[in-house]
Amino acid sequence: MWPWGHLVFGAVVYVVYRRIRELGIARVAVGVSLAIGTQFPDLVDKPLAWNLGLLPTGRSLAHSMLTFALVAVVLYRATKDGPRSEEAVAFLAGYGTHIVGDVLPVVVAGDLDEAVFVFWPLVPAVDYGPEIGAIARFRALELTPSVVAQMAVAVVVVLWWYARSRAEHG
């Protein structure tokens, strides 16, 4: 999933969560925390694997449920009942939806061998073949109508959230 796909998926899930809990529109800082969370696994794993060679693949350390659990415990303990607990929940929602967004398509496709990346390092890293790096991937991206539509939806979601948040919270 491309970054804007992770952002939209995370935002939709988080908006539904807030509606169910009747929490209203989140503050801008909460939206920023959510956005960072939706990108966090790739911001950690891709550079460490593709650029520095410190991880076996771009889906390993931060894409692991073990790391997610550790980050969740640390954030919970650090922000419990504090002024930033809402931001922590948003970050974790974004982080969790990123992992789900990466694993769901391979599970639906029946490629369970590829879905085991969520258990790294308890299981070996998935071999994706030669990694070309983020810049090369973006250069190779074709701006098809589908990709442009996805980007447009992401921009609309961000602008909508920002406008609603500013209107409600000033």
Q: Which pLDDT value is given to residue 106? A: 93
Distance CA 24, CA 45 (A): 33
Q: Are 8 and 154 in contact (CB under 8 A)?
A: yes
pLDDT higher than 70, residue 109: yes
Distance CA 5, CA 154 (A): 7
Structure-model confidence comparison of residues 5 and 36, the more confident one: 36
Distance CA 100, CA 92 (A): 12
Highest mean pLDDT out of 24-33, 43-52, 90-99, 137-146: 90-99
Q: Give the number of domains in the chain.
A: 1
Highest mean pLDDT out of 24-28, 87-91, 124-128: 87-91
Distance CA 165, CA 157 (A): 12
Distance CA 147, CA 152 (A): 9
Structure-model confidence comparison of residues 159 and 99, the more confident one: 99
Q: Which pLDDT value is given to residue 170? A: 63
Reported for 22-26, long-range contacts at CB under 8 A and 24+ positions apart, including other chains, are 24/168, 25/161, 25/164, 25/165, 25/167, 25/168, 25/169, 26/86, 26/90, 26/161, 26/165
pLDDT in tens, 133-161: 767 777 777 888 877 888 888 788 778 87
- Average pLDDT of the segment spanning 52-72: 96
Distance CA 114, CA 46 (A): 17
User: With bands split at pLDDT 50, 70 and 90, how would you rate the model's confidence at 70?
Assistant: very high
> Average pLDDT over the chain, rounded to whole?
89
What domain range includes position 134? 3-169
- Average pLDDT of the segment spanning 96-120: 95
User: With bands split at pLDDT 50, 70 and 90, how would you rate the model's confidence at 169?
Assistant: low
Q: Which pLDDT value is given to residue 66? A: 98
